[in-house]
């Protein structure tokens, strides 16, 4: 089972400029994500780690950590609506990467408190189910999140999944294990049923603003105290 990890790290960010290079505890969000991938590689779960970017500073930072970079295509760089899934496909369609890998791990740098242990448990969950479904790390929600409501063409809001029964989870981008063929077939990560690996709330902190960065720093210091 050949596995590649892609770290999508763009250079531009509206709400938190250069956020992927901002630091927590003296290590950038990008570097902290790379630290996790190196732990996973040492345990035999990853064969290749790649940073996908459109920014020379991020390219230099990745190379300084010994990680190769996929420079995004012009079409991907110029698309203001490009999603993480689009970035993944941009990598997979380059040099037939889609055919070279059986599994793909996607780690966005904005979840700096994730751990290799949680990502490894997500992999084992996928393996234990015969690699038949994608796996996402997520946190339990106290109630159905509002973001699960879809605005339909008739002007009404509807829940895209059954609202009664079961547990609700929120995926904050911590980790996704999937297959290249599923990324090709689906338009989003939510087009097919997936498995959920629950993680502690602090691991799901998503840094997108200055306040998020302060919260993440405080949680990191608390864990070390």
Going by C-beta distance under 8 Å and a sequence separation of 6 or more, which residues neighbour residue 95? Answer: none
Interval 156-162 mean pLDDT:
53
Residue with tokens 């002007």: 155
Q: 174, 109 in Cβ contact below 8 A? A: no
Percentage above 90 pLDDT, the chain: 66
The Cβ of residue 132 has, within 10 Å, a number of other Cβ atoms equal to 9
Residue 94, pLDDT score? 86
**pTM tops 0.85, yes or no:** yes
Average pLDDT, the chain: 88
Tokens at 65, concatenated: 């950590």
Q: 51, 70 in Cβ contact below 8 A? A: yes
Q: Which phi and psi angles does 190 have, rounded to 5°? A: -110, 15
Residue 96 has pLDDT above 80, yes or no: no
Tokens at 225, concatenated: 């105290």
Which one is predicted more confidently, 119 or 147? 119
For residue 53, the surrounding DSSP H or E stretch is strand 48-53
pLDDT digits (tens, 9 = 90+) for 53-89: 999 999 999 999 999 999 999 999 999 889 999 999 9
Q: Is 56 exposed, middle or buried (0-12, 13-18, 19+ CB in 10 A)?
A: exposed
Kind of pairing between the strands at 169-170 and 135-140: antiparallel
């Amino acid at each position: 089972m050949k596995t590649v990890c892609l770290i999508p790290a763009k250079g531009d960010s509206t709400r938190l400029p250069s956020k992927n290079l901002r630091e927590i505890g003296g290590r950038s969000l990008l570097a902290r994500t790379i630290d996790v991938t190196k732990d996973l590689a040492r345990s035999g779960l990853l064969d290749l780690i790649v940073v996908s970017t459109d920014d020379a500073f991020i390219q230099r930072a990745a190379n300084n950590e010994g990680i190769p970079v996929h420079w995004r295509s012009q079409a991907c760089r110029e698309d203001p609506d490009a999603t993480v899934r689009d970035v993944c496909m941009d990598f997979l369609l380059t040099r037939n990467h889609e055919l070279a890998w059986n599994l793909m791990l996607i780690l966005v740098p904005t979840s700096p408190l994730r751990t290799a242990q949680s990502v490894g448990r997500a992999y084992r969950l996928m393996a234990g189910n015969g690699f038949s479904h994608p796996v996402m790390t997520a946190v339990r929600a106290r109630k159905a999140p509002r973001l699960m409501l879809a605005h339909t063409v008739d002007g009404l809001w509807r829940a895209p999944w059954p609202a009664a029964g079961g547990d609700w989870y929120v995926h904050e981008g911590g980790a996704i294990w999937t297959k290249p063929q599923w990324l090709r077939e689906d338009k989003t990560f939510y087009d097919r049923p997936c498995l959920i690996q629950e993680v502690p709330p602090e691991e799901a902190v998503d840094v997108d603003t200055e306040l998020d960065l302060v919260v993440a720093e405080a949680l990191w210091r608390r864990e070390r105290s």
